Amino acid sequence: MAKLRLFANLREIAGETQVEIDADTVGAVVDTAIKRFGTEFERGVESARVWVNGDPASADAQVGVSDEVVLLPPVSGGAQPAQAVAAADFVGFLPLGFAILAFIANLQGQAFWGAFLVLGLAIWAADLSGVFAFRGRDMPALPIVVTGTIGVIAAHTMGSAGYGVSVGVAVLVALGWAVAFVSYRQIEIYSPMLLTSLIAGLAAASLTLSRSAFSPSDRAVDVFVVATFAGLALGAVAIRMQHLPLLDPFSVTALAAVLASVAAAALWDLDLVGYLLVGLGVAVSLVAGRGLSSMLRLGRVSLTEIPPGAVASFDSVLLAAAIYYPLIRIIL
């Protein structure tokens, strides 16, 4: 009998951390486990990596009574726990590098900041489109970019009213795209297109207004960047190290966002209580954004799998950005 160790969602589905399976190859071990734990377990296995005694293994590898087979879903980092970070793991940190660029862009004028937002939305749209294509689904990137661009312009020229205008623009752009292209009239294509366009428009307008004369503080965008950067960075570390007890990635993300928001407010002599509440709003959005991300990129809500895509963390950031301006106006 070989020992099979399970992690993350596979462990939750099976209800066990380790099982013994009577089989003489890795493939037979996995197949037996699938028959025992069902179709949901099988879906999780499809994206998991297989290790035997600490080394990657193929399905035809022989195993015996002293061997340990490990199934590691992407949420576990795709590598044996406590090993060095693999090069592929750095893909998850691309949005954090983008956050550093946001600090630099925020030091420039409003026009430069608007162009930076549109660039970020274009990268996000292209990434989403690629993930949908991999799943055999269509997701046009252009409506997202168009809505975001109009959201920036509307907020810059119309002030707070531009935030509301971006909602109507998202609906019109998505409807126009569906009218122009018959294939996009299917509800399973139109719905995510409308949702992502709406998030893009609101996020673009919100972050434009948050550094304008309509914002309660000229440091509001700085606080947002610090809070989201800290939340995503420490959350990514927690995911990589979740074999440690009591280290929940979602709790770490939320707590880091709140503490970073308060720390930034203290650094720039802002309203500490106000930004504590703002940080709570950002934290909730970052965690909720993980569910949104899995829904868009996996086609189902799963908080234990890392959604595919180079900038999947943008999903959470843009959701937080979409509500940020109303949040600071109400609280501050």
Q: What is the largest CA-CA distance in the chain?
A: 71
Whether 7 and 82 have beta carbons less than 8 Å apart is answered as: no
Mean pLDDT, all residues of the chain: 86
- What does the pLDDT read at residue 246? 66
Quickly list DSSP for 82-95: TSPPPGGGGGGGHH
Structural domains of the chain, ranges and CATH numbers in brackets: 2-84 (3.10.20.30), 89-331 (no CATH)
Q: Looking at the predicted structure, is the pLDDT value of residue 187 above 90?
A: no
The residues, any chain, with a CB within 8 Å of residue 139's CB and separated by 6 or more, are: 128, 129, 131, 132, 133, 189, 192, 193, 196
Q: Looking at the predicted structure, is the pLDDT value of residue 86 above 70?
A: no
pLDDT per residue over 299-329, tens digit each? 777 776 677 788 888 999 999 999 999 999 9
- How far is the C-alpha of 242 from the C-alpha of 222, rounded, in Å? 30
- How far is the C-alpha of 115 from the C-alpha of 63, rounded, in Å? 56
DSSP strand pairing (2-6 vs 68-72): parallel
pLDDT per residue over 194-222, tens digit each? 999 999 999 999 999 999 989 998 899 99
Backbone φ, ψ for residue 19 (5° rounding):
-135, 155
Name residue 3's beta-bridge partners: 20, 68
Per-residue exposure over 132-149, b if at least 16 CB sit within 10 Å of its own CB, e if not: beeeeebbbbebbbbbbb
CA–CA distance from 332 to each of 210, 214, 273 (Å)? 12, 12, 9
Quickly list DSSP for 131-186: HHHHTT----SHHHHHHHHHHHHHHHHHTTHHHHHHHHHHHHHHHHHHHH-GGGGS
Backbone φ, ψ for residue 18 (5° rounding):
-145, 135
Please tell me the total number of residues recorded for the chain in this structure.
332
- How far is the C-alpha of 298 from the C-alpha of 33, rounded, in Å? 23
Instruction: Tell me the average pLDDT across 233-260.
Output: 81
